[in-house]
């Protein structure tokens, strides 16, 4: 049973305050977790509680921490740790709002994740094994950012994430080996071109490019320079995060200085899919552009993975709607969009039942917390998106997967191509 719940203010990878929750059981076993934070948030997400005012740009979380130490601690005290769904239902009811704004999505998700860790500790198991409960697991196919853009790099380019996926690798460890060579090659090439300007929020190179297509060209050349084969070994994955520059069927591309309607936006993406080895595209149009999602998936859903992030905000009902609409073929799973682990899992399961790709994802604001690595393995999601291949809040997640792969030993299975809702080329 739960003995105590403690909240504290810690700092995230952007140097902003965030919430840590620590659950201690009567047995003395404990679990701890830190809430992440997005920058390009969907409007339907659970809302983080921020204090406003002058301190830390209004981003302080004193009230959310107080909620953990006060109402949440009181409500959870003495409750059995075994039933996560019951505990999450209690948290949802305690908050009482549709968007978790009263206690704060940040307070709730830190608490809910810490409960999972405490339960695993009480079972004497690593979190991934506790979540798997004997079911099959796979090491996830990683989606790793090489160039950052959009809201994570002052809109230097329109596209938010230029990423690589290595589905042909033989193991999770080998996928990281390949990615490390690509990341290195991209850095050397940028330096030679006089375009190396540091890294963006998630550790990808800051994209001093004149066009989105220049980033794509660079990426293909970096894959080749790393000695790997574009398409058959390594694919490109893009998070357009189109809600950041479009709404109402109108898209304003900063780099190209032009305005596109939905049809033109889709044609632009089609031209990229034809010209580059693209395996996956996230949020190709804005979160309010349902017709655009449906048209894009009708056109490309058989060939590439099409992910809803801002569009689905890890919400089971939205995932179900997107299944009947055929609006996407994959769902991004971000625990703090949902607010509790039970709701997060429900969204993932709804998508998986429909054959969707399932990508557990970090936020642009992260920490040393590695819960999502365990979710990706333990829930057998198949894919994991964490940002780039630098900065320790990113590397901590990749490194944790290496440890899990080692723990699994000969039983370790790398998801590879099997994670994608499309046929192997
Ligand atoms: P965010 O970006 O965490 O800033 O929302 C991540 C994403 O859009 O996938
Ligand atoms: Zn996204």
- Look at residue 405 and tell me whether its pLDDT is greater than 80: yes
Q: What pLDDT sits at residue 298?
A: 98
Least confidently predicted of 120-134, 217-231, 248-262: 248-262
**Quick check: helix, strand or coil at residue 264?**
helix
Q: What pLDDT sits at residue 135?
A: 98
Q: What pLDDT sits at residue 423?
A: 84
Q: Which residues surround ligand 2, an ion (CB under 5 A)?
A: 239, 241, 282, 309
**Ligand 1 pocket, residue 212 CB under 6 Å:** no
pLDDT band at 308 (very low <50, low <70, confident <90, very high): very high
CA distance 309 to 342: 18
Q: What pLDDT sits at residue 24?
A: 99
Which token pair is 89? 């239902």
Q: What pLDDT sits at residue 207?
A: 83
Overall average pLDDT of the 91-116 stretch: 98
What is the rounded end-to-end Cα distance, in angstroms, of the chain? Answer: 51
**Ligand 1 pocket, residue 364 CB under 6 Å:** yes
- Look at residue 425 and tell me whether its pLDDT is greater than 80: no
- The pLDDT tens digits of the residues spanning 50-87 come to 999 999 999 999 999 999 999 999 999 999 999 999 99
Is there a binding annotation on residue 364?
yes
Closest CA to 333 of 15, 145, 109, 114: 109
Mean pLDDT of the chain: 97
Q: What pLDDT sits at residue 211?
A: 92
The closest ligand to the CA of 308 turns out to be 2
**Ligand 1 pocket, residue 280 CB under 6 Å:** no
Task: From the candidates 20, 45, 143, 334, give the one annotated as an active-site residue.
Answer: 334
Q: What pLDDT sits at residue 257?
A: 85
Q: What pLDDT sits at residue 177?
A: 99
- Residue 307 Cα to ligand 2 midpoint, Å, equals 8
- The pLDDT tens digits of the residues spanning 185-199 come to 999 999 999 999 999
Overall average pLDDT of the 113-129 stretch: 98
Atom 6 in ligand 1: residue holding the nearest Cα: 363
pLDDT band at 411 (very low <50, low <70, confident <90, very high): very high
pLDDT band at 170 (very low <50, low <70, confident <90, very high): very high
Which residue has 């994430």 as its token pair? 161
- Residue 282 Cα to ligand 2 midpoint, Å, equals 6
**Ligand 1 pocket, residue 14 CB under 6 Å:** no
| Ligand 1: nearest atom to the Cα of 361 | 9
- Residue 367 Cα to ligand 1 midpoint, Å, equals 14
Ligand 1 pocket test target in 282, 364, 366, 384 with most atoms within 8 Å of CB: 364
- Residue 236 Cα to ligand 2 midpoint, Å, equals 15
Which token pair is 394? 């990113």
Q: Residue 288 burial (CB < 10 Å; 0-12/13-18/19+)? A: middle
* 108 to 21, 35, 85, 114, 305: CA distances (angstroms): 9, 9, 13, 10, 31
Q: What pLDDT sits at residue 344?
A: 99
Percent of the chain with pLDDT over 70: 100
Enumerate the β-bridge partners of residue 96: none
CA distance 37 to 284: 22
**Ligand 1 pocket, residue 109 CB under 6 Å:** no
- Look at residue 34 and tell me whether its pLDDT is greater than 90: yes
pLDDT band at 100 (very low <50, low <70, confident <90, very high): very high
């Amino acid at each position: 049973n739960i003995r105590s719940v403690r909240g504290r203010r810690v700092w995230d990878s952007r140097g902003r305050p965030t919430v840590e929750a620590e659950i201690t059981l009567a047995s003395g076993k404990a679990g701890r977790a830190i809430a992440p934070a997005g920058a390009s948030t969907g409007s339907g997400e659970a809302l983080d509680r921020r204090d406003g005012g002058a301190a830390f740009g209004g981003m302080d979380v004193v009230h959310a921490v107080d909620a953990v130490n006060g109402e949440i601690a009181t409500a959870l005290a003495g409750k059995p740790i075994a039933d996560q769904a019951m505990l999450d239902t209690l948290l949802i009811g305690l908050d009482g709002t549709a968007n978790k704004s009263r206690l704060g999505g940040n307070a709730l998700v830190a608490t809910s994740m810490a409960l999972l860790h405490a339960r695993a500790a009480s079972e004497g198991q690593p979190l991934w094994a506790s979540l798997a409960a004997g079911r099959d697991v796979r090491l996830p196919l990683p989606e790793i950012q090489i160039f950052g853009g959009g809201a994570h790099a002052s809109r230097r380019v329109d596209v938010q994430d230029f990423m690589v996926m290595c589905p042909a690798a033989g193991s999770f460890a080998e996928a990281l080996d390949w990615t490390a060579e690509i990341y290195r090659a991209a850095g050397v090439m940028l330096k030679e071109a006089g375009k190396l300007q540091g890294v963006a929020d998630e550790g990808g190179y800051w994209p001093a490019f004149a066009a989105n297509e220049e980033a794509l060209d660079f990426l293909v050349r970096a894959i080749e320079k790393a000695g790997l084969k574009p398409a058959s070994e390594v694919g490109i994955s893009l998070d357009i995060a189109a809600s950041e520059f479009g709404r109402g069927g109108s898209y304003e591309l900063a780099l190209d200085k032009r305005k596109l309607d939905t049809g033109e936006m889709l044609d632009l993406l089609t031209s990229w899919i034809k010209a580059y080895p693209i395996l996956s595209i996230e949020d190709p149009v804005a979160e309010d552009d349902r017709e655009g999602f449906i048209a894009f998936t009708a056109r490309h859903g058989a060939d590439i993975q099409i992910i809803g992030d801002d569009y689905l905000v890890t919400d089971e009902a939205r995932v179900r709607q997107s299944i009947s609409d055929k609006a996407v073929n994959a769902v991004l799973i971000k625990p703090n969009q949902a607010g509790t682990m039970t709701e997060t899992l429900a969204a993932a399961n709804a998508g998986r039942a429909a054959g969707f790709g399932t990508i557990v994802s970090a936020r642009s604001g992260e920490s040393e917390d590695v819960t999502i690595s365990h979710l990706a393995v333990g829930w057998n999601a198949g894919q994991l998106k964490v940002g780039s291949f630098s900065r320790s809040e990113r590397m901590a997640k990749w490194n944790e997967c290496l440890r899990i792969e080692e723990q699994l030993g000969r039983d370790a299975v790398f998801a590879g191509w099997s994670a994608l809702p499309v046929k192997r080329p």
